[in-house]
């Protein structure tokens, strides 16, 4: 229950700071919903993240906020803390992410983006 109220406080802080992103330029709000869909299993569990972030002039960024997990049942199970940090240069980008829980999980993503 304490985790829930902590995450609720973090979400309220994100909402309160959201209008600043219009004037600050480097601050941003990044709500993100991730789920999986399988041809046999249908829609799986999901994670709803409410991050507030900061983007530096050199293309690097960092963001953090609450992450609510929803298992297959659809009922909110836990609220954890998640975050990402990354950088892009030309068409290349890289990102490191984490989410807390029973154990902290870390992910790495690299890729490229080409505009036409």
113-116 long-range contacts, CB within 8 A, separation 24+? 113/88
pTM (predicted TM-score): 0.68
Q: So where are the chain's domains?
A: 2-112
Report pLDDT digits (tens) over 41-86.
677 789 999 999 999 988 899 999 999 998 877 777 889 999 999 9
């Amino acid at each position: 229950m304490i985790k829930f109220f902590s995450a609720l406080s973090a979400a309220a802080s994100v909402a309160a700071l959201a209008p600043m992103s219009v004037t600050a330029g480097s601050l941003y709000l990044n709500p993100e919903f991730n789920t999986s869909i399988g041809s046999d299993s249908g829609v799986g569990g999901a994670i709803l993240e409410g991050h507030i972030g900061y983007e530096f002039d050199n293309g690097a960024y960092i963001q953090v906020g609450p992450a609510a997990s929803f298992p297959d049942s659809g009922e909110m199970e836990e609220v954890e803390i998640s975050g990402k940090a990354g950088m892009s240069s030309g068409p290349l980008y890289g990102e490191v992410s984490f989410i807390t829980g029973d154990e902290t999980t870390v992910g790495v993503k690299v890729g490229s983006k080409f505009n036409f």
